[in-house]
Amino acid sequence: MQTDEGTRQKAVVIAGPTASGKSSCAVALCRMTGGAVLSMDSMQIYRHMDIGTAKVTKEEMQGVRHYLIDILNPDENCSISDFQAAADAALAECRKNGVLPVLAGGTGFYLHAVVYGNDFGRDTGADRTLRDRLQTIAMEQGAEALHHRLEAVDPEAAASIHPNNVKRVIRALEYYEETGRPISAHNLEEKRRMPRLDFAGFLLQEDRARLYERINRRVDMMREAGLTEEVRGLLSAGIMPGATSLQAIGYKEIVQYLEGKCTEDEAYEAIRTGSRHYAKRQNTWFKREAGLERIDIDAFDCDPEKIAGYMLQRIKEKGILT
């Protein structure tokens, strides 16, 4: 691991809630800097999921190179370390070509992991059965029972994870089983980690009411653009409704509709509220993410060119770009 100041790769980070205009700002900035976009989005990695993920179109890319989009089929899974590996490859390519990487996206967890290079351990593959076994315990004996097990081996983690959060409890137990170390100790180390990128970061912000209006409008546009048909196509292509990709907002709701569980109007209403909730969670995450300068997009008339222009100025001031 390189930690010398001089060797840290320079980069730009653009974060923000859904529909805040990250993608267009990133493209605008890359056109000014000759940079490339690295998408930090957990769902745009999937091919054939374009409308519902608000993926940038070929035209919108305006010739700017985009990484980490369309890298998997919708029936595949991507763990955080898989994503990190793909991001590392993209970063290496940028470095080799002397291109400024612009990391833009709304998946805070992925973004953080790429910027800090957190260690998630090795995916042994053998844990598949362990995970299933723990899941079974949770279902048969209850979430509390599983939590008690964690309490026995890692009281610290047990104290910080709510018993109902079975996913996390399982992961903590799994980590202990595989490494013999409590995950709480590991997490403590990871929290001390410094960024491995020398970056200038921005957080796009907007008045809550306006953001919600924007989200509602975007969902309407998705419907007009044929989101229902896109989801129908995925299902008829054999993608299982339980696939990770189909848990995305905009997809799981339409699946419900196509399965006759609700009306199409209800599905789209659910997409709107789901998106609002998501935006809220994103804001919560980014609020505590260090190194992000807040940008009120209304102050720039929500114009990607103006925002990118400001970013360019700040990037230069910070010495990211000379």
Partner RNA sequence: GGCGACAUAGCCAAGUGGUAAGGCGUGGGUCUGCAAAACCCUGAUCACCAGUUCGAGUCUGGUUGUCGCCU
Q: Which of residues 202-221 bind RNA (CB under 7 A)?
A: 208
- Is 280 near RNA (CB under 7 A)? yes
Q: Which of residues 62-81 bind RNA (CB under 7 A)?
A: 77-81
Binding part of the chain for RNA, among 1-9, 87-95, 117-125, 295-303 by CB under 7 A, reads 117-125
Burial of 6 (0-12, 13-18, 19+ CB in 10 A): exposed
Binding part of the chain for RNA, among 91-99, 122-130, 225-233, 311-319 by CB under 7 A, reads 122-130
Binding mask 87-106 for RNA (x = CB under 7 A): -------------------x
Binding mask 16-35 for RNA (x = CB under 7 A): --x-----------------
Q: Nearest CA to 285 among 160, 108, 112, 116?
A: 108
DSSP result, 75-96: T----HHHHHHHHHHHHHHHHH
What sign does the dihedral 206-61-12-274 (CA atoms) show?
positive
Contacts of residue 43, defined as CB under 8 A and 6 or more positions apart, other chains included, come to 49, 53, 245, 248
Helix (H), strand (E) at residue 38: strand 36-39
Contacts of residue 317, defined as CB under 8 A and 6 or more positions apart, other chains included, come to none
- Is 149 near RNA (CB under 7 A)? no
**In the complex, which residues of this chain contact RNA (CB under 7 A)?**
18, 41-44, 52-54, 77-81, 106-110, 113, 118, 120-125, 127, 131, 135, 160, 162, 164-168, 170-171, 175, 178, 183, 186-187, 190-191, 193, 208, 244, 247-250, 273-274, 276-278, 280-285, 287-288
